[in-house]
Structure 1
Amino acid sequence: MTARKNESWDDFWTRVNGAGTETIRGVEVQVPTDVPLAMEQRLKALEDSESEDDIREMVGLLFGADVLGQWTENGMGLMEFKTVLAWGMAHAGGAKVTFQEAYDIVLAEEASEGKAPNRAQRRAASNSRSASTGGRSRRTSSASTGSARRTSLA
């Protein structure tokens, strides 16, 4: 790509990233094209926070101030919110995913959370291989690992 004479940084960056807008629940938002540095820093600080103010701040950094309030007023549900966040973060990270792909990501993550392991997974876990040889571990007899039986003094 050749540089254009007298092109401003903003014009250059818009051209490189193909910035645009999307209407989500009646609110026009910029399509994220990068993760804001402030968001990167705040995510580490707020890693375990569930505060509504903190969530509002993160959404504001990604999509714009008070977008979360407008989406809430317009009836956005939790699954919609998770899908929009997945879509926005993917775009901010450079992956041009569709809303359907973002929704599929959210569904896959929710399915993997809290799902009990199936029978095959339990069997695989119980038949672990030895770390040093890669072979199956052998059960150690209780005679070699057990403690001597003690009698009560009472």
Structure 2
Amino acid sequence: MTARKAESWDAFWAEVQGAGTEVIRGVEVPIPTDVPLAMEMRLKDLESDSSEEAIREMVALLFGDTVLDQWIDAGMGLMEFKTVIAWGMAHATGTKVSFREAYDTVVAAEADEGKAPNRAARRAASKPRSASTGGRSKPTSSASTSSARTRSRA
């Protein structure tokens, strides 16, 4: 076994992660290769908070501090932004996706948001509840409602 020359943590981690860059709306950004620990700790708060401050924080953690303003200045639209965030989060969590795959995911998520409940959900919601417990009434047992089974004469 050959001893390797000692290397710094940063050099080692850059090699492991295979970090690269991508140009998005004319802005060169690092391809996220890991969810920053600060973001992981704040992810639930950031997902439910749609304030400008929360959005800026999320973009800064993924791509850098000045990127959002550069994208806004370049005319990035909302669907583009959602696609880039989906792409960045996928890469950050270790799933390498194309921009097309990220876009398709965003389109599918948007379509699901506007859908009415499916037929089974509508039926379940309209079933009466038991008066005493508020739960559904229990079905009658098959023993009291079925006919006697006939045996073959063989």
Q: Same fold (TM over 0.5)?
A: yes
Matched-pair contact (CA < 8 Å) for 1:34–1:91: yes
Pair 1:19–1:4, CA change in 2 (3 A) = farther
Corresponding residue SS for 2:105? helix
For residues 8-27 of structure 1, the aligned pairs below 5 Å read: 8-27=8-27
Counterpart mapping for 1:59-70 below 5 A = 59-70=59-70
Distance verdict in 2 for CA 1:107–1:4, change over 3 Å: farther
Distance 1:3 1:94 in 2: 30
* Normalised TM-score (structure 1): 0.74
Tell me whether 66-75 or 5-14 shows the greater mean CA deviation. Answer: 5-14
- The SS at the match of 1:96 is coil
The aligned runs of 1:62-101 (5 Å cut-off) are 62-101=62-101
Cα distance, 1:121–1:46 mapped onto 2, change above 3 Å: closer
Cα displacement (A) at 1:40 = 1.3
Offset of residue 22 of structure 1: 0.1
CA distance in 2, matches of 1:115, 1:33: 34
Provide the C-alpha distance between the structure 2 equivalents of 1:32 and 1:68, rounded to a whole number of angstroms. Answer: 15
Bigger Cα displacement from structure 2, 110-119 vs 50-59? 110-119
For the aligned residue pairs, the C-alpha RMSD in angstroms reads 2.6
TM-score w.r.t. length of structure 2: 0.74
- Corresponding letter in the other structure for 1:76: M
| Structure 2: stretches of 5+ with no match in the other structure | 128-136, 141-154
1:112 corresponding residue in structure 2: 112
Query: Deviation string for 1:121-145 (max 9, x for gaps)?
Result: 6457768xxxxxxxxx7679xxxxx
Separation in 2, partners of 1:126, 1:43: 36
Give 5+ residue unaligned stretches, structure 1.
Answer: 128-136, 141-154
Letter in 1 for 2:71: W
Cα deviation, residue 118, structure 1: 4.3
How many pairs does the alignment contain?
131
Structure 1 letter corresponding to 2:100 = Q
Matched, 1:55 2:42: no
Question: How far did 1:80 drift?
Answer: 0.4
